């Protein structure tokens, strides 16, 4: 398998630090609001990476944090804590905000068929460990105090900012010239960041009394600490959105490597941005969508997942409702293909030449998937495979083999193909759907509608007629 590394800016053969186990860390959400589809695109990309590793027989240990304290508005060190601000606005406690938006996020993961990380941990439950790391950095002379917090001196590390293709000197010069952002008093270098922030006297929630003063951790130290606590000082893959490259991940590298003296991460994996109608998503443009917004427009969450899969994770995805609609149509057509193929019950024997041809398409699919997770091209290979299959009158043995391969593709795609196997619904329901198809072709729509209602009532199966045929869902599939 090959993987692109943001730090080296090139694809490299993937080889984990230890044998067949992959230590993977993904920056989790800051739970101060609903996650939008741009956030969810990143988590889908990470999920596909993970599924591809698992398909390639790796054992993946996946850790994700939940940032519930210390992430300021604007990612820098000025401005307020995002969660505490939202709590004030909504007249709720920070804990209420955290619980509500964490649940909402976990729900989105489920809807999008994202495999849950092995460990999900809240930043606030690891403050003791963060303090230990801060202490090490302090002993090594990397920290200094201002009247707002304890800061990391970025001039003391070599190669600060390499991840973003920049350098300490360049960044400090550029940021000074930009000087739009207000910086805390007493800061030595513009790129320095807080590992510990002092709280205001009126702050009662999410504050700790420590030898560094009363306050709370900085956002970056949280991730470094949780990586090391749950996975060790060195890990294989660190994932996140491209928006984290220049500040958050650069700071994680600086402080982690300062503390351990070891290379922190072997491969940096970053998902590119999602824009809406050609523009950056922003509240003022009213173009911020959540998964729930898409559902309200009658789209399946998995249609959004399908759309994400059709654009390479390192390319910008321009989201529009039109492209989502065509993703939705394509996914439904795939479901129809799965249910029809799995319904083949006559004929035996296998055409060896046919099997050879479809096997080569299967191999091309995985070759592309293993080449820096090139899922868009892998998907075109899947369609070449399907088109070959569609031209043949399949025997039951051949149909079974085709389905086996489709389910193998879905180990990586995660589009719930298995839910659309004919065996997933009662035989009687399947027979009724077949009969209805004939009636519909004879244009007796009234009777077709009656059967649709009957199927819904009796079997809790919902039918939708599409150009490719009738797609069915178990009502539990739709939210």
- Which residues lie near Zn ion (CB under 5 A)? 27, 223
Nearest residue to 304 (alpha-carbon basis) of 294, 296, 315: 294
Residue 27 or residue 60: which is nearer to Zn ion going by CB?
27
Say which residue the tokens 């989201």 belong to: 319
**Cβ-based nearer residue to Zn ion, 26 or 448:** 26
Least Å from the CB of residue 259 to Zn ion: 16
Write the DSSP symbol of residue 117: P
Close Cβ partners of 437 (under 8 Å, ≥ 6 residues apart): 469, 470
Quote the CA–CA distance of 63 and 329 in Å, as a whole number: 34
- Least distance from Zn ion to the Cβ atom of residue 371, Å: 27
Rounded Cα gap, residues 208 and 472, in angstroms: 54
d(CA 452, CA 433): 8
Q: Which is nearer to Zn ion, 6 or 374 (CB)?
A: 6
296 CB neighbour count, 10 Å cutoff:
10
Q: Which two tokens stand for residue 473?
A: 């869902």
The residue among 221 and 373 lying less far from Zn ion, judged by its C-beta, is 221
Displacement of CA 277 from its chain's centroid (Å): 21
Which is closer to Zn ion, CB of 199 or CB of 250?
A: 250
- Report, in Å, the least distance between residue 27 CB and Zn ion: 3
The least distance separating Zn ion from the CB of residue 231, rounded to whole angstroms, comes to 13
- Gap between the Cα atoms of 220 and 183, Å rounded: 17
Positive or negative, the Cα torsion across 76, 249, 112, 277? positive
User: Helix, strand or coil for residue 139?
Assistant: helix
Q: Which two tokens stand for residue 63?
A: 């850790």
Shortest CB 85 distance to Zn ion, Å: 20
Least Å distance, CB 227 to Zn ion, is: 8
Axis-axis angle for helices 321-342, 375-390 (nearest 10): 40
Q: How far is the CB of 222 from Zn ion (least distance, A)?
A: 7
Alpha-carbon distances, residue 344 vs 212, 397, 430 (angstroms):
69, 9, 12
Judged by CB, which is closer to Zn ion: 150, or 223? 223
The full DSSP string for 299-313 is --HHHHHHHHHTS-T
Nearest distance, CB of residue 223 and Zn ion, angstroms:
3
Residue 141, both tokens:
């002379």
Tokens matching residue 204:
């009662």
What radius of gyration do the chain's Cα atoms show?
Answer: 26
Minimum CB–partner distance for residue 131 and Zn ion (Å): 18
Residue among 28 and 414 whose Cβ is closer to Zn ion: 28
Toward Zn ion, which CB reaches closer, 27 or 87? Answer: 27
Residue with tokens 């090594």: 140
Closest separation between CB of residue 293 and Zn ion, Å? Answer: 26
Tell the smallest beta-carbon distance from residue 317 to Zn ion (Å).
Answer: 22
SS3 334: helix
Nearer to Zn ion, 67 or 430 (CB): 67
Largest CA distance in the chain: 82
C-beta closer to Zn ion: residue 70 or 414 = 70
- How do 21-26 and 274-276 pair as beta strands? unpaired
How do beta strands 274-276 and 317-319 pair? parallel
Nearest CB to Zn ion, comparing residues 123 and 338? 123
How many residues make up the chain in this entry?
479
């Amino acid at each position: 398998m090959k993987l692109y590394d943001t730090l080296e800016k090139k694809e490299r053969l993937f080889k984990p630090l230890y044998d067949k186990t992959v230590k993977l860390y993904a920056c989790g959400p800051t739970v101060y609001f609903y996650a939008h589809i741009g956030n969810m695109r990143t988590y889908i990309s990470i999920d596909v990476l993970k599924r591809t590793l698992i398909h390639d027989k790796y054992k993946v240990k996946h850790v994700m944090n939940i940032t519930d304290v210390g992430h300021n508005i604007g990612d820098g060190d000025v401005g307020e804590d995002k969660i505490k601000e939202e709590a004030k606005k909504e007249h709720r406690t920070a804990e209420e905000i955290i619980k509500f938006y964490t649940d909402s996020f976990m729900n989105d993961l489920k809807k999008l068929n994202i495999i849950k990380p092995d460990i999900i941990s809240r930043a606030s439950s690891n403050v003791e460990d963060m303090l230990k790391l801060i202490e090490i950095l302090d002993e090594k002379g990397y920290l200094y105090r201002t009247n707002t917090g304890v800061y990391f001196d970025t001039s003391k590390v070599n190669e600060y900012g390499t991840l973003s293709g920049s350098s300490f000197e360049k960044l400090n010069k550029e940021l000074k010239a930009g000087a739009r952002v207000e910086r805390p008093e007493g800061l030595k270098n513009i790129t320095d960041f807080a590992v510990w922030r002092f709280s205001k006297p009126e702050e009662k929630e999410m504050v700790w009394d420590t030898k560094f003063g009363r306050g709370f951790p900085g956002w970056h130290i949280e991730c470094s600490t949780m990586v090391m606590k749950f996975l060790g000082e060195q890990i294989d893959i660190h994932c996140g959105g491209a928006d984290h490259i220049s500040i958050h991940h650069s700071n994680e590298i600086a402080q982690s490597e300062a503390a351990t003296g070891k290379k922190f991460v072997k491969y940096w994996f970053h998902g590119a941005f999602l824009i809406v109608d050609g523009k950056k998503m922003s509240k003022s443009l009213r173009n911020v969508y959540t998964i729930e917004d898409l559902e309200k427009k009658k789209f399946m969450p998995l249609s959004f997942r399908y759309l994400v899969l059709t654009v390479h994770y390192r390319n910008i995805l321009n989201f529009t409702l039109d492209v989502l609609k065509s993703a939705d149509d394509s996914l439904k057509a795939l479901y129809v293909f799965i249910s029809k193929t799995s319904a083949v019950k006559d004929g035996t024997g296998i055409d060896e030449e046919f099997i050879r041809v479809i096997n080569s398409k299967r191999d091309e699919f995985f070759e592309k998937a293993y080449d820096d997770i090139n899922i868009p091209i892998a998907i075109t290979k899947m369609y070449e495979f399907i088109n070959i299959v569609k031209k043949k009158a399949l025997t039951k043995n051949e149909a079974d083999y085709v389905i086996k391969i489709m389910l193998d593709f879905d180990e990586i795609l995660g589009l719930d193909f298995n839910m659309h196997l004919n065996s997933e619904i009662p035989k009687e329901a399947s027979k009724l759907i077949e009969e209805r198809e004939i009636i519909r072709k004879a244009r007796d729509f009234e009777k077709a509608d009656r059967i649709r209602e009957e199927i819904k009532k009796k079997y809790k199966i919902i039918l939708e007629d599409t150009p490719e045929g009738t797609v069915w869902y178990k009502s539990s599939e739709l939210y």
